[in-house]
Amino acid sequence: MLIRDNKLGDALAKVLGNSGVALIRGHGFVAVANSTPIVVYRAIYTQTNARVQAEGMKLGTIKYLTPGEAEKAQAIVEATVGRPWELWKSQVGKIE
């Protein structure tokens, strides 16, 4: 549920560990990062990727990334996040 006190905050920090995203029962998820562009990227793409994964699971077996592949993918995203970040910044205020 919502993080409303230090005890729940500590529990969330333990669950997150070195991860960038954690599910929160009855609330959704939380994304964290050491920069605003990366946390916005994670917030947007966590939802997109969850939807794609759910659809893929309906089709059958999914071959998940290995920890090494996940590390490489994360490094690529963090190195290229500037491009979508500039697009998102340009769209702020244009949403009606």
Residue range(s) defining the domain that contains residue 44:
35-96
Q: d(Cα 77, Cα 37) in Å, to the nearest integer? A: 11
> Quick one: 13 and 43 in the same domain?
no
Task: Give 17-55 pLDDT, tens digit per residue.
Answer: 989 999 888 888 999 999 999 999 999 999 999 999 999
Whose CA is closest to 2, among 28, 37, 21, 41?
28
Note the residue count of the chain. 96
pTM reported for the whole predicted model: 0.80
**Does one domain contain both 19 and 47?**
no
Count how many domains the chain has.
2
66 and 83 co-located in one domain: yes
Average pLDDT of the residues of the chain: 90
